[in-house]
Amino acid sequence: MRTVYSVGFLVLVSLAARAQSPLYGQCGGVGWSGATTCVTGAVCSALNDYYSQCIPGTAAPPSSTASTSGSSSPSSTPSTPTSTAAPVPVPSGKLQFTGVNMAGFDFGCNSDGICTVSAAWPPLTQYYGADGAGQMKHFVEDDGFNTFRLPVGWQFLVKDVLGGPIDEANFAIYDDLVQTCLSTGAYCIIDVHNYARWNGKVKLFSPIIIGQGGPTDAEFASLWSGIASKYADNPRILFGVMNEPHDVPDIERWAQSVQAAVTAIREAGATTQLILLPGNNWTSAATFISNGSAAALSKVTNPDGSITGLIFDVHKYLDYDNSGTNAECVTDNIADAWAPLAEYLRANKRQAINTETGGGNVASCVQYMCQQVAFQEANSDVFLGFTGWSAGNFYPTYVLGEVPTDTGSGWTDTLLVESCLKRK
């Protein structure tokens, strides 16, 4: 499958070299060998050294100092393309949400939905964890991040009682991390890290999913009603419905379970915060359309029938098997994931956020991650941002570690954060 993709990509590049790049197509950047001019009504805009894209606008008149490299600055008076189609939104080039995951409360959670409550390790020094407070303060003040995703196991929040109420003692510990996040002025994503399961049960060799032989929609809704009621009045909280559902037998039925969570959140009083909707196949950006997740989740609405604040939640790693377990990166994900998804989102007036992405602290990941981030910036009308994986309680040897080092006189970022992810 990877070989077929590579051949197809070379063909596309060859064709692009003999034509103009389309609206929102790539037109320059390190290693780019395709077209460097854009179709009528678009101008090639350089996001950074790694990526230039055709955006709506008109090129400046030629002059003796004008660049012909295909990476000129956007016009100061952009206009929509000459077309009979509806006006196309112009990306701002600035992502709304940028930051990192703060791991620890998800420790002990496996992809089969088993979460060992005693294994949760708060990334806060008062609980003998990492200095999560110092990390977040550094990320905000020194790196320009404004968002932290805070994964936690369902079992921890209800103290292992499926369908039970929020356990106030455990929730108070988790809330310490949430309040530490909020104290930095950042946005904080509540992420239930259970893979659409509870304790790994199977039935006739098939996974038991929420609403599909596993926990009921009512039990899932009860969890989210309890969480949302705690933060209903805080506009800086985002609700991540579920981390990485996978091997979901019926995506339409999964959308009904997501609907139950959305309704519970809104009816708990959290009427304006963003809610992040995850799809099948580890909510992969590359298969979000093809596996039916986009179409099914498009049917999820607020109680009033609107879709305001309902954002698709997607993930994408850059290693060869998209597992996020290998140090080297092999793709920027643009051709097979982000470009098709951007087209779909724009056509259907939806938006997405990339809440898990990452790579090793090596040169290949710097190259491809910088390209991926630049593409998302170039399409910021449909991509709201990213949170890298991961900081918090990971040790320095963790392959995808983004934990900064406290030198005593300040913090030093990992190579990937310093090169591609930080905003300052």
What distance in Å separates the CA atoms of residue 246 and residue 311, rounded to the nearest whole number?
19
Structure tokens, 303 = 């109680």
What distance in Å separates the CA atoms of residue 318 and residue 358, rounded to the nearest whole number?
7
Nearest to 96 by CA among 359, 392, 377, 325: 377
Active site residues: 244, 356
Beta bridge partners of 48: 51
> Could you tell me the sign of the dihedral formed by the alpha carbons of 382, 309, 192, 201, in that order?
negative
